[in-house]
Structure 1
């Protein structure tokens, strides 16, 4: 799948993640290499009792109690991130043609917090106490609907659901909307909040999660020789995308350009990546061709890098085949954990910040890189270097692969 061409410029960033709230706080935490993982009181009776939660998130204070109580947490996070992004871009209802503003957000699991709570109510013998808002609070698509309502965006809105590639797919879709002339502004990103007992138990039963209960802050260690699984996280990122000429005309700040997008399927296994990363390789080559960028021009990769034995090795193989060992590779999941459907959007935002600052954040918790990983993994501390082209990669259950090519503004 190839983008329609013409690129798109990122003019606003909204980030509500385990690394903090807002672009500046997130960037400082990434450079520190300090993990956000900690024992989670909400998971006290669960086999894996630690996670990466968004710190100090008070939905009532941020959204107002009347609004907050109607929204599942995955929507709350996205609405706050969208408001941040629009404010950061200097945009809003008074500056845009609402009918030309679109919303496309990635999500995978929907309102798990709501569904689990309502399930307990129903099977606890009180079906009459079930919330009449259960369905709209739990539906995956409602995050795009609520963000559009909150900001008065009257253009197209939808949700991409390609598991952990959802956020990247949303940004690729938004870019195509701009290139086709369908929209003038698109709010694109991803969100997930599924740190519930049932979901976490399901992931643990799959063997996907790290079991380092005695040292949760050191558990997420992408590309490390001793990695044993990912740490689940939550979060949201929303990017404001516009055509470059429109951004220049209004004097907007430009973080980076989304120059290329590629997507491909493994058609191999429900949860395991292709052993050689064949789908990711196709997605990455497509994105580079779409951006008209040579592999040797890529200076940085924000890798999917989940900290699972299979993903990191197969991803590294694909990256090495396409890019060689010249790009500085990091996985910011060492700090944030794996935010599932939000990951691609959060990491695209981090990639844009890397281009802006000319720095690559370290991959946290890595003492020794797996000797079979033949790419240049940045560890120990940030690496400063002029960056013109960077890539963000995402993989998801179902064999979904996505790659974004970003270029300096």
Structure 2
């Protein structure tokens, strides 16, 4: 593939809000520091590990609620997405040709639970209930905030939502129906009800040490998922420009037949197909590194590793993940992984996962990184990000 051709897809900006921070320099410092961002959250049913936004970010969101009329009624997930999108550099962008697809696995979780509790207690709800909890709420409000006039789409493909948004962005850009596209995910699912759902699946971490999410600790005997909250978005363009930070050179997606609603096959057939498709698209046989989905569950981590070994054989790329630092942020998780990939390319530095020892060293120049995501229903997305060499 000629990456400087008009068909190239540029990542011209990528921003996020998570327990790692909200500014690129602070997020990169957090990755280099390698200190997990987990805390104990005390709730009615007990206390559990979670990954929460910092007090500074929460203050910013509180200020955002007062910024414009109607923002005080919005769910936290929507406010997070608005703030993440505001952090993108979009000067000079044609708003009439700017598309937006910011998805969410669970949507306006906090407001849903609040309004339903009110309904149970009082038998009625606020008139804001329907418009502020609809699934399309995130993208439409981001468009309103930015003044974008292009297509606005929202969807849920559970934990692969953000990378599916990138696929949508690629399709719109390559069709010529958009000149720029904001893609990503937002999740504010730290509620007792959501936590109870993960516990019902027996996925949640019971570890007591400071690294409770053992993502990529392949010898573990019990699940160690930890929930986090985050919003992350990327600005995509159909060609290389002075804004280009990295290039999307390959993409693949696949769905496999499942036998359980929350699992994939032992060798993750969906990942094998998506990774092979991405390599073919990029005209590559291998990549330098892979940012794994690796949610910290026993079967999930092992299945993805088996798929990688099947595709790449004994010559494994460098493998890492970020959930051991920030937990599983559902719809936003894939975009946080993409952000890590871009940062590693920009700094030519590989961020190690302490639970996994790679068998080879970083090449002299990190050129290509694959990013994986998978969601309930056996759907997988793999993207290949290439270093931009102006």
1: CA distance between counterparts of 2:39 and 2:364?
32
Q: TM-score, normalised by structure 2?
A: 0.91
Shift of 1:194: 0.8
Pairing partner for 1:69 from 54, 63, 72 = 72
Shift of 1:166: 0.5
Q: Once the two structures are superposed, what CA deviation does each residue of 1:123-167 show, in whole Å capped at 9, x if it has no partner?
A: 12x234x22111222222110101111101111110131110100
1: CA distance between counterparts of 2:319 and 2:363?
13
2: CA distance between counterparts of 1:30 and 1:283?
27
Tell whether the 8 Å contact from 1:301 to 1:392 is kept in structure 2 after alignment: yes
Pairing partner for 1:309 from 284, 293, 298 = 298
2:312 aligned partner:
323
Tell me, which stretches of 5 or more residues in structure 1 are unaligned? 370-374
Q: Name the CA shift for 1:316/1:114 in 2 (closer, same or farther; >3 Å).
A: same
Tell whether the 8 Å contact from 1:344 to 1:393 is kept in structure 2 after alignment: yes
2: CA distance between counterparts of 1:96 and 1:228?
45
What is the DSSP-based 3-state SS (H/G/I as helix, E as strand, rest coil) of the residue aligned with 2:247?
strand
1:142 aligned partner:
137
What is the DSSP-based 3-state SS (H/G/I as helix, E as strand, rest coil) of the residue aligned with 2:205?
coil
Shift of 1:188: 0.9
Q: Name the CA shift for 1:15/1:314 in 2 (closer, same or farther; >3 Å).
A: same
Q: TM-score, normalised by structure 1?
A: 0.87
- Select between 314-323 and 131-140 the one with higher mean Cα deviation: 131-140
Mapped pair 1:360 → 2:356: no
2:3 aligned partner:
none
1: CA distance between counterparts of 2:138 and 2:312?
36
2: CA distance between counterparts of 1:23 and 1:244?
23
1:390 aligned partner:
369
Tell whether the 8 Å contact from 2:249 to 2:282 is kept in structure 1 after alignment: yes
2:216 aligned partner:
223
Listed as ranges, the matches of 1:331-350 within 5 Å are 331-350=321-340
1:372 aligned partner:
none
Tell whether the 8 Å contact from 2:102 to 2:139 is kept in structure 1 after alignment: yes
2: CA distance between counterparts of 1:106 and 1:260?
21
Shift of 1:106: 2.2
Tell whether the 8 Å contact from 1:48 to 1:200 is kept in structure 2 after alignment: no
Mapped pair 1:100 → 2:97: yes
Paired positions, count: 375
Q: Once the two structures are superposed, what CA deviation does each residue of 1:57-111 show, in whole Å capped at 9, x if it has no partner?
A: 22122453545412101111111000112x3xxx24xx12211100011211011
2:87 aligned partner:
84
Q: Name the CA shift for 1:383/1:106 in 2 (closer, same or farther; >3 Å).
A: farther
Q: Name the CA shift for 1:338/1:320 in 2 (closer, same or farther; >3 Å).
A: same
What is the DSSP-based 3-state SS (H/G/I as helix, E as strand, rest coil) of the residue aligned with 2:383?
strand
What is the DSSP-based 3-state SS (H/G/I as helix, E as strand, rest coil) of the residue aligned with 1:163?
coil
Shift of 1:258: 1.0
